[in-house]
Amino acid sequence: MSEVDTTNVAEEKTPVIEPTSELPPTSTEVSVSNDEKYEFFKVIQDYLDQAAKVVDLPEHVRDMLAQPKNEIIVHFPVAMDNGKMKMFKGYRIQHNNLLGPYKGGLRFHRTASLDDFKALATMMTWKCALMQIPFGGAKGGVKVDVSKLSDAELMRITRRFTHALGNNIGPEYDIPAPDVGTNAQIMVWIMDTFMNQVDHTQKNAQRGVVTGKSLTCGGSQGREKATAQGVVHCITEWAKDNRFDLEGKTAIIQGFGNVGSFTALLLSRLGVSTIATGDHTGYMRTSEGFNAHKLADHVKKNGSIKGYVGGESISREEFFSTKADIFIPAAIENQIGEVEAQLLDVALIAEGANGPCNPAGERILAERGIPVIPDVLANSGGVTVSYYEWVQNLRSENWPLEKVDARLETKMKDAYRRVSFFAQEHGVSLRIAAYGLALEALKTAYAERGIFP
């Protein structure tokens, strides 16, 4: 098994969650309370409609943004290690490219569905528009359980999927990145496959076909921790606004993949200790706080937090009831419903995952006065540094970490300020404010460009 994050896997029948991907091999599923089929795309469309009213979005623009532009589904064969051939289903949903090339992650997950990809692709459009980076939104992936694959099978699936996508991706057209179940190695395989499909004189111009690559193959300094870094910048800004001294405070983190583990690490540098966490193998608590380095190493080696000696085992209910200052969901969608929202005993929620709060949960959190820094803002550090990687590839440059970090910090803080101001000005939640700002940018661009022909 290669270094693939299997942390965010959710089972349909026996719901489970895993920490947000982009990190090495982890296998972190956590039981979920909501059994019925979750209509993720519909939830995202509802947010669009709420925000559309706030910014007075013309109906035709709302209609264009309510559906993805392209829904690409491919079926492709792969030779498995046992000598048999197996068919796989791959997706690439391209929501919008008004502001720049389609952009967004690839998720390798056994429950991958068209509905989820439509929701996630749409959110990428909002993220990029909000962050003022010249990209549109997309998402895709393959329906597969990566924990059951050998390295060689994973590579063949990746390469064959890339081949099946053909010129539906490209450095000036649609640029994938890591997401749940994928990582830098997979991005490098995609890049290599894509480069080998073009004329040899054009090979090097294709490096930017994916972001989140390894440093040796054209990745950027700071990309690996970027999503978590962005989450932490948002928390820091919120703390400043609320005169909340972070030193000595506590956090609980659901999921310990890329986002969860780097968030724990970066928070510990600010004096915030992570006192509870969990993945598909269960939840754990320690009043002294986890050693983020050690736990991350354990997850890298073992694929999950299971067997880590630095904490006591607790139930999912106990996890959500743990009194702490900050809760960071860093797993998958639909984790905080009514039950969890009632249980939570925190002052702030910062969404490292995409769509972790469902609308019923969010309503209760609002009633209880628990602020939520929404996903499209909180976890946008990942795609922001993806943009820096893409720019470096275009210019054949290699920026030092300090430059990437400084630019990300400025971007995150500016976005946080704008969202916070918009929310106050319009009397809406931070989520609707983030959507509102994204829609304002798209509304202006559509008004200026008009509709072809």
Active-site residues, by number, are: 139
Yes or no: say if 102 and 174 are a contact pair by the CB < 8 Å rule.
Answer: yes
Nearer to ligand GLU, 211 or 236 (CB): 211
Yes or no: say if 306 and 28 are a contact pair by the CB < 8 Å rule.
Answer: no
Cα–Cα nearest to 139, from 100, 167, 179, 111: 179
Yes or no: say if 47 and 284 are a contact pair by the CB < 8 Å rule.
Answer: no
H or E segment to which residue 259 belongs: helix 258-269
Yes or no: say if 10 and 32 are a contact pair by the CB < 8 Å rule.
Answer: yes
Give the nearest distance from C-beta 81 to ligand GLU in angstroms: 29
Nearer to ligand GLU, 138 or 246 (CB): 138
Nearer to ligand GLU, 211 or 254 (CB): 211
Residue 372: how many CB atoms within 10 A of its CB?
23
Instruction: Please give, one letter per residue, the 3-state secondary structure of 328-344.
Output: EECCCCCCECHHHHHHC
Yes or no: say if 210 and 175 are a contact pair by the CB < 8 Å rule.
Answer: yes
- Distance (Å, whole) CA 356 – CA 365: 13
Nearer to ligand GLU, 125 or 354 (CB): 354
The residue ranges that bind ligand GLU (CB under 6 A) are: 103-105, 177, 179, 211-212, 354, 379, 382-383, 386
Cα–Cα nearest to 196, from 153, 166, 220, 151: 166
Nearer to ligand GLU, 105 or 311 (CB): 105
Give the nearest distance from C-beta 125 to ligand GLU in angstroms: 11
Is residue 351 exposed (0-12), middle (13-18) or buried (19+ Cβ within 10 Å)?
A: buried
